[in-house]
Amino acid sequence: VFSELCFKKTIELATQSIQYSQQDPEVFHTLAVAYLETGKITDAIDLLLQIIEHNPNHAEAKYHLATGYMRQANHDEALKYI
């Protein structure tokens, strides 16, 4: 329960931060991870795909994208990012 509250607060703060710094991929990555941890898998995947589109070498985004696909039981897509 505590960690879920932390991730919900992270979503709130990251969303606010994006309004001020739309260029920082780490804010988007933080938001995507918080989405993953709160069960908003589709939202997380959408953000992670955007991050990777702009920076194909972002290893953590690829890892989390694979994690998101695995949680959706989409193993073929997950393997593309491992």
pLDDT of 16 above 70: yes
Q: How far apart are CA 31 and CA 36, in angstroms?
A: 9
Q: Please work out, in degrees rounded to the nearest 5, the angle formed at the alpha carbon of residue 20 by the alpha carbons of 58 and 41.
A: 45
Sign of the four-CA dihedral 28, 34, 36, 38:
negative
Confidence at residue 30, expressed as pLDDT on a 0 to 100 scale? 92
Q: What is the per-residue pLDDT across 35-53, written as a single tens digit (0 to 9) for each?
A: 999 999 999 999 999 999 9
pTM: 0.84
Q: How far apart are CA 5 and CA 1, in angstroms?
A: 6
End-to-end, the C-alpha distance of the chain in Å comes to 30
